[in-house]
Structure 1
């Protein structure tokens, strides 16, 4: 079952269970997926769906920090609930050691010599680690690895 089909089935289950919070979040996700399909005239793959979910998770994290800074814990709690539902669709994250190993392999595979080769290395890593690692953290590790080299 593709990720898109799983999300659709989960939406039906949430409707049957009358779980309004979960249903609302899944509907936001399906709307974003349909929007991408219509805009780009493509059939979404699991990689496309993961990219959409990753973007929505990043938005929720940003909103949570903004709401908490503004003293709106009620709104932050809503965002946290949405974040929890979205996180269920992400694949298992990689450990720090696994990420560092992937970075080292990518640097070796591309023959990167310094900071000017960061784009090459990130180009190799992004498809491998998308959805499984925080790309901001990966970028920092690549920068550190290239600074040493």
Structure 2
């Protein structure tokens, strides 16, 4: 069984006992998303820690996007709730890469593929190398923007 999933369950129990409403509702939501991912497809299976991190990253991204949408819709109280949930989820995600670290990874990937002279046509090659390195540690859109900046 996934150690991260066990940690989420244990933290849910602690949050419920401590009457931490935001944390307990967020952990319930993410455990539900993990269960949904496990039963998706033809055969139910147990997710690995890496797959659980992927679900967590996806849920955190949804919260960030929802917070922006609520801000745009002049609903600051709902935006604050979404941001609080995203903050809870970041406790379980690997440390995020800084913009400088992303730039360094992109530079080395471009050098590794020899994509500098190909320009934007080589974006797929570069992203193919970067995606496994940054999965769960950086937003894909930020990585793609840096690749475009360096190739363009």
Q: Distance in 2 between matches of 1:81 and 1:9?
A: 20
Query: What is the TM-score of this pair, normalised by structure 2?
Result: 0.87
CA RMSD of aligned residues (A): 1.6
Deviation at 1:114, TM superposition (A): 2.3
Q: Distance in 2 between matches of 1:38 and 1:93?
A: 29
Judge which range, 107-116 or 75-84, deviates more. Answer: 107-116
Query: What is the TM-score of this pair, normalised by structure 1?
Result: 0.89
Paired residues in the alignment total 147
Q: Equivalent residue for 1:44?
A: 47
Q: Equivalent residue for 1:35?
A: 36
Q: Equivalent residue for 1:146?
A: 151
Runs of 4+ off more than 4 Å: none
Q: Distance in 1 between matches of 2:127 and 2:55?
A: 19
Extract unaligned runs of 5+ from structure 2: none
Q: Equivalent residue for 1:132?
A: 137
Deviation at 1:86, TM superposition (A): 0.8
**C-alpha offsets along residues 22-58 of structure 1, whole Å, 9 cap, x if unaligned?**
1110010000001001003332122212221121122
Deviation at 1:76, TM superposition (A): 1.4
Trace 1:67-146 onto structure 2 (pairs within 5 A).
67-112=70-115, 113-146=118-151
